[in-house]
């Protein structure tokens, strides 16, 4: 099952843009189908005017975590959306678009050859649970922590290698002493190559 997910992850990464662009709402240039739903009574955006709706959507666009689908739907709403479509998208469509973008992000991480055991294990658990809120939380905080654990293991492997030079051993120990996820990642991506250069 794990091998199937890795294959699926690669396929999703390659096909996601084509699949998203081929849906009827995008192919026809219409507003996203999720935005066509009329927001129900008691919506937080019921009394919001069009300018404030545009500001809310623009803030979402400015968020670096906004993926392709969120960005595409938000831009379409700003270009052609009605007040009702904007309200409905902010209430429900945004969450659906973000969930799809998060799922694509998780599959990309799963397909990355540098993803370690803990990252892979946690992604498989997320995919088994299929909960958008858990996936979003993991991307925001859990991924960093899981990656740090995998990085720590990788640094220990370097320390355990009998061919590791004394200078590389010292740099690896310094990264472990620092202990922050950023220090471990920096050592693995940059620091170990600078030491042996």
Do 67 and 104 form a contact (C-beta atoms < 8 A)? yes
Do 145 and 121 form a contact (C-beta atoms < 8 A)? no
Q: What is the reported pLDDT for 32? A: 47
Query: Which 8-state DSSP code applies to residue 35?
Result: G
- Averaged in consecutive runs of 10 residues, what is the pLDDT profile of the chain (197 residues)? 44 43 41 44 67 91 90 93 90 92 94 91 93 94 93 93 91 92 91 78
pTM of this structure: 0.67
List alpha helices for 63-142, DSSP H.
Answer: 68-80, 83-88, 94-111, 117-129, 132-137
Domain boundaries, the chain: 2-112, 114-197
> Whole-angstrom Cα distance, residue 14 to residue 24?
20
Q: What is the reported pLDDT for 4? A: 45
Q: What is the reported pLDDT for 21? A: 41
Residue with tokens 């009574």: 41
Structure tokens of 187? 């050592």
Q: What is the reported pLDDT for 28? A: 41
3-state secondary structure 129-169: HCCHHHHHHHHHHHHHHHHHHHHHHHHHHHHHCCCCCHHHH
Residue 179 gets the label, from left (phi > 0), alpha (psi -120 to 50) or beta, of left
């Amino acid at each position: 099952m794990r091998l199937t997910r890795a294959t699926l992850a690669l396929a999703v990464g390659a096909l996601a843009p084509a699949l998203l662009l081929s849906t009827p709402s995008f192919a026809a240039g219409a507003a996203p189908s999720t935005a066509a739903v009329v927001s129900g009574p008691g919506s937080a955006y019921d009394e919001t005017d069009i300018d404030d709706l545009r500001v809310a959507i623009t803030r979402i666009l400015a968020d670096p975590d906004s993926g392709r689908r969120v960005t595409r739907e938000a831009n379409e709403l700003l270009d052609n959306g009605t007040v009702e479509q904007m309200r409905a998208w902010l209430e429900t469509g945004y969450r659906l678009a973000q969930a799809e973008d998060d799922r694509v992000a998780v599959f990309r991480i799963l397909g990355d050859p540098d993803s370690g055991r803990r990252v892979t294990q946690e992604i498989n658990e997320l995919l088994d649970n299929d909960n958008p809120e858990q996936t979003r939380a993991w991307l925001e905080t859990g991924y960093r922590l899981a990656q740090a654990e995998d990085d720590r293991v990788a640094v220990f492997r370097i320390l355990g290698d009998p061919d590791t030079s004394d200078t590389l051993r010292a740099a690896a120990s310094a990264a472990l002493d620092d202990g922050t996820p950023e220090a471990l990642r920096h050592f693995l991506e940059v620091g170990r190559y600078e030491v042996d250069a």
